[in-house]
Amino acid sequence: MKQRLKQLLFRALGKDPEAIIAAISEPIAAEMRCLVPDRRVLLVTPENAHTLLRPYRLALFAVPVEHWRTAFAIAPTKVLAFHPNLDRHHLKLRHWIASLLFLRGVPLDRIFLRPRWLYPFKRDRSRVPDEIRVIEGRPASPERRAVSVLTPYFPYPLSHGGAVRMFNLLRAASDEFDITLLSFTETGERIEPEPLLAFCRRLVLVEKPYYREPRWSTLVPPEVAEYESPAMRRAVAQYGGPLLQIEYTALARYGGQVLVEHDVTFDLAQQVAANSTLLSNRWNLWRWRRFELSRIRHFCRIVVMSEKDRDLLGTGVVIPNGVDLDRYQPTPEKNGRNILFIGSFRHFPNVTAIRWFLSNIWPQLHDCTLTIVAGPDADRYYELPQLDRVTKFDFVADVRPLYDKTNCVIVPTLVSAGTNIKVLEAMAMQRTVVSTPSGVNGLGVTHGVNAWVAESPADFLTGVRLVLDDDATRQRLAVAGRAHAEQFDWRILGEKQKDLWRELL
């Protein structure tokens, strides 16, 4: 009887009594068909949604987060918002904090976390794996002294600058030292140990903890807290050897003799805070500055990437980033107007950079193509809009064929710390670089001599157009860029690494 009355009521209102699900975008519609197979799913657009949905009774309105206002205006209690990775949350006014956090991009599994010190009875605890996995590599030699290196991730494949640096410097030092690599791995990660086993004494692997505290709730930066592992502390005690080098500031609490500051982290946090009014960014800056400046006093040597980084810390041995000159050899440039951007979306400055370029520069370049190498799981961090003449790749094992097709490499970085290896690789391939000042920071690049360095969006656009239009200028900058990159050969920098270890041993 109740169902019959409901049907009569909705027919009187001119609506179909059977509730439907509306969806904006085909991937979301497909997801809803799987989740609710007994409901009809109607695909609409933001422009026609109001008209198409008028005859229907809505059960849910499933939309990408950027279109939540459209859905809220039509059915404020029925909005199911989706992130690009298809994480979803029912937006509700009575849960406005959770809804706001979801719209701001906070992962769904972190929205309802409560700090342990405030909610000691909460069930959702961090999970800390206890297993230590040891893989033996080449035999030890009495002629080689022992050194251990601790890394926050396994440095292979060479999918980003940090892995490239660690892999090449370890390989360069392996002729004189027996190296034990202690490394965190991700849950479910399938590593390729063979390239490291060729020159390492052993690999000691510990799975990274699954960290379940709110990112604002700890006195140390969350990136530090999430690497706290009793298993890794046991591994360091057993395999740390006479000399232990720590890669990245986030691992500084493990001690050792050498800390490698791949970037001065509080410098990056300061750049972010300077361009934001969010209290969370200022809190993050305070934590990083306090932690970083206190921890560097516990090490015999601090390795930095540039003179600027040494000035910021007031101490440091400069061993800059480098390039494999044998691998990255100049190739003849093909005719075209092809632009290349390389930068893993896991590193948020790369997302900021490409968004800035696509918003401010790309709409004014009408006769070019753009190739983007966004790194593993790129859509999890930022979903590129669908644009004509733009091609996106995720992880690319060998980027040299992409350089072969490229006429201009862009580095539109707005916030950056340390130095960018991708700039050196582009220069080594003899391809012209157009960059912001922060993109080439610490590399000794000179505007108009070996690259185009743009201070503003207008300058960046001018540089890209000049490089693509003027063959003589492009070739002059490219040749000078190759000569500049030759100063950063990993073999030369490997000698600096070995000198440091010799001194401490």
β strands within 420-468, DSSP E: 433-435, 452-453
3-state DSSP assignment of residue 494 = helix
Helices (H), 174-278: 194-197, 222-225, 230-239, 265-274
Answer whether 7-110 and 132-318 agree in fold. yes
pLDDT for 483 equals: 96
pLDDT at 14 over 60: no
The DSSP code for 63 is E
Q: What confidence category does residue 11 fall into, taking pLDDT thresholds of 50, 70 and 90?
A: low
Q: How many helices, marked H, and strands, marked E, lie in the chain?
A: 20, 19
Residues 6+ apart with CB under 8 A from 455: 436, 437
Residues 6+ apart with CB under 8 A from 213: 113, 115, 116, 126, 222, 225
Helix (H) or strand (E) holding 42: strand 41-44
More confident residue, 343 or 105: 343
Looking at every residue in the chain, the average pLDDT score rounds to 91
pLDDT at 380 over 80: no
Q: What confidence category does residue 344 fall into, taking pLDDT thresholds of 50, 70 and 90?
A: confident
In angstroms, rounded to a whole number, what is the distance separating the alpha carbons of residues 309 and 296? Answer: 13
Topology of the domain covering 338-488: Rossmann fold (3.40.50)
pTM higher than the cut 0.75: yes
pLDDT for 303 equals: 97
pLDDT at 13 over 80: no
pLDDT for 495 equals: 96
| 469 burial via Cβ count (<10 Å: 0-12, 13-18, 19+) | exposed
Helix (H) or strand (E) holding 359: helix 348-360
Q: What are phi and psi of 376, to 5 degrees?
A: -65, 140
Strands of the sheet containing 41-44, edge to edge, are 41-44, 16-24, 56-64, 79-82, 88-90
In angstroms, rounded to a whole number, what is the distance separating the alpha carbons of residues 387 and 15? Answer: 38
Per-domain boundaries in the chain: 7-110, 132-318, 338-488
The tens digit of pLDDT for each residue in 36-69 reads 898 889 999 998 888 888 888 888 999 999 899 9
Of 351, 342, 474, residue with least CA distance to 396: 342
Full DSSP string of 69-121: HHHHHH-TT-EEEE-TT--EEE--GGGHHHHHHHHTT--HHHHT---TTT-TT
> What mean pLDDT do residues 340-348 have?
88
**Percentage of residues in the chain with pLDDT exceeding 70?**
96
The tens digit of pLDDT for each residue in 151-186 reads 999 999 887 788 999 999 999 999 999 999 999 999
> What mean pLDDT do residues 345-355 have?
88
Report the relative pairing of strands 132-136 and 202-207 from DSSP bridges.
antiparallel
Q: Name the CATH code of domain 132-318 (choices 1.10.3470, 3.40.190, 3.40.50, 3.90.1530).
A: 3.40.50
> What mean pLDDT do residues 214-235 have?
95
pLDDT at 209 over 90: yes
Q: What is the gyration radius of the CA atoms in the chain, in angstroms?
A: 26
> What mean pLDDT do residues 334-347 have?
91
pLDDT at 16 over 90: no
Kindly report the number of other CB atoms within 10 A of residue 380's CB atom. Answer: 14
Q: What confidence category does residue 5 fall into, taking pLDDT thresholds of 50, 70 and 90?
A: low
Listed range (103-107, 202-206, 358-362, 388-392) with the worst mean pLDDT: 103-107
The tens digit of pLDDT for each residue in 256-288 reads 999 999 989 999 899 888 888 889 899 999 999
Kindly report the number of other CB atoms within 10 A of residue 143's CB atom. Answer: 7
pLDDT at 10 over 60: no
Kindly report the CATH class assigned to 7-110: alpha beta
The tens digit of pLDDT for each residue in 90-134 reads 999 888 889 998 998 888 888 888 898 888 888 888 999 999 999
